[in-house]
Structure 1
Amino acid sequence: MSTRVSYVDAARLYCIIFLLLIVMLGSFTEDDDLIKKMNPRVTAQASCDEIYVVGEGETLHTISDKCGDPYIVEENPHIHDPDDVFPGLVIKITPSRLRTHVVTKI
């Protein structure tokens, strides 16, 4: 009889531990959202594909900021006038080319 009680207690303990783990794992997604809120460029760069279709009211400057690609005009030779951007225009995006320079202090 005592072994049956110990199995029930052990099962109860495992269920409690399992539920606590689920709650703890669920809290990590909130941390991920917090990181995205603190750094809006993280979400912006993630939302741009290599092929981008210009939307209503967008300019090359807003797309560059949104996607993290400051060289849109250079990569798209079909854009002759940077001010002549219209909805539906298809452009190539290369976000964050890792052109960051490491600065070391001496």
Structure 2
Amino acid sequence: MAGVRSSTAMAEKVSWYCALLLALMLALSCCDSTESEYMVPVNWNDLNKPCDEIYVVREGETLHTISEKCGDQYIVEENPHIHEPDDVFPGLVIKINPFKNR
């Protein structure tokens, strides 16, 4: 009888250790990803700068966001190489005429 009790006690200990190990692995897997993977870096100094007349499109920008940022509603009309507003991609060079220059 004593052998059965010690086997049962040993099995309970092993199952508790397995449960603790599993809980630890789950907790660590939730913390594996860092926030920086999902965050877009922002250069706060660029936000208040006026746009130059020659502008290079950055990742994630659209004509709408550039128009708001630079104060130029007529980007498509001033850039004949842009045939569709959706033709914007990072590295595209466009001409900007902010309101203050008009």
TM-score when normalising by structure 1: 0.48
Structure 1 residue 56 corresponds to structure 2 residue 59: yes
What amino acid is the match of 1:73? Answer: V
CA distance in 2 between partners of 1:95 and 1:46 (Å) = 12
Give 3-state SS (helix, strand or coil) of 2:84's partner.
coil
Does the Cα contact within 8 Å between 1:45 and 1:95 map onto a contact in 2?
no
Task: Tell me by how many angstroms 1:46 deviates.
Answer: 3.8
Q: Where does the alignment leave 5 or more consecutive residues of structure 1 unmatched?
A: 1-42, 100-106
CA distance in 1 between partners of 2:77 and 2:90 (Å) = 20
Structure 1 residue 96 corresponds to structure 2 residue 85: no
Q: Where does the alignment leave 5 or more consecutive residues of structure 2 unmatched?
A: 1-45
TM-score when normalising by structure 2: 0.50
* Cα RMSD for the two superposed structures: 2.1
Paired residues for 1:65-104 under 5 Å? 65-96=68-99
Equivalent pairs counted in the alignment come to 57
After the TM superposition, which parts of structure 1 deviate over 4 Å for at least 4 consecutive aligned residues? none
CA distance in 1 between partners of 2:48 and 2:75 (Å) = 14
